[in-house]
A and B are shown apart, each in its own frame.
Chain A
């Protein structure tokens, strides 16, 4: 047989990551809200995508982080472990380094405030805008949530409308509801 064996394939992918040759490594992680495409740069976790179209995602990762994008399981293992623990209800905060360096200042500031919203609690868009020192920017905060590169880990599912309604979620309202239910924020 002249085919590349799964062992050889994995050996190459592991070696590429171990030698620090990748701009971004990615892999798929199974979860109760569907398979997640998870990617990490040299700095930290850089992407979590629902319903990923791999072709488009890889192009985007290459544009954002560099062309050396490769599927490799090992660099994703820490994130896989923490996500598994989260979905089992055993983990309430994530300890992974993250890479949001390429985002605009405002987005980073809003995401930093978002990261402080505790497990099982919700906050409104307006409140999050106020905490980010831009009290009238609720709509802009909505846009930042919509483009959140790291859903679940940066918990945009904990942000709700002024009336307490779930309103939008880039991954779909079903997922938002499921995550909030898991956290006990809704019954």
Chain B
């Protein structure tokens, strides 16, 4: 599948990505994160090799930005509790490990364990559903484990 013009990509995913950012960050921060998500996507877009998995790719960028936003100190905010927010983020390593997986499993593993999305969100990102996302993630983990042990 060839890469569509960016306008098509943006039109297709802007609403659901915005909805996702609203749920993660609330309305106040979602707007800035939305703009940053699509600017980042635009910068990287010409480097994509094909038009597959664009939805998962969009969610990956949005998730990363949501994490950055969470990390940004706010006057009224408590310190973040997640261990992953200290130092090197968990997903960086995970993305590298998951490189060997088939694309759907890879996306499911990275979004679940790297970005802590729930299965319904991952299902939406992959164009399937929560059940399929759960299966893809566990198949991916099984495969990684086999590789690790072999």
Contacts and interface: CB of A to CB of B under 8 A. Distances in A.
Nearest to A71: B7
Question: Which of A22, A23, A70 has its CB near the most chain B CB atoms (within 10 A)?
Answer: A70
B144 to A, nearest CB: 33
Chain B interface residue number, banded: 20 to 34
Taking chain A's interface residues, is the majority helix, strand, or loop, or is none over half, making it mixed?
A: mixed
A53 to B, nearest CB: 13
Nearest to A19: B39
A15 interface: yes
A69 B7 contact: yes
A9 B31 CA distance: 10
Nearest to A5: B31
B6 A67 contact: yes
B15 A3 contact: yes
Interface in A16-70: 16, 19, 21-23, 58-59, 61-62, 66-70
Interface string B1-40: 0011111101000110011001000000001001100110
27 contacts: A2-B18, A2-B22, A8-B34, A8-B35, A11-B31, A12-B35, A15-B35, A16-B38, A16-B39, A16-B42, A21-B43, A22-B42, A58-B7, A61-B5, A62-B3, A62-B5, A66-B46, A67-B3, A67-B6, A67-B46, A68-B46, A69-B5, A69-B6, A70-B7, A70-B10, A70-B42, A71-B7
9 pairs of A and B residues whose beta carbons are closest in the complex? A69-B5, A58-B5, A62-B5, A2-B19, A21-B42, A4-B18, A68-B6, A12-B35, A70-B7
Interface of A: 2-4, 8-9, 11-12, 15-16, 19, 21-23, 58-59, 61-62, 66-71
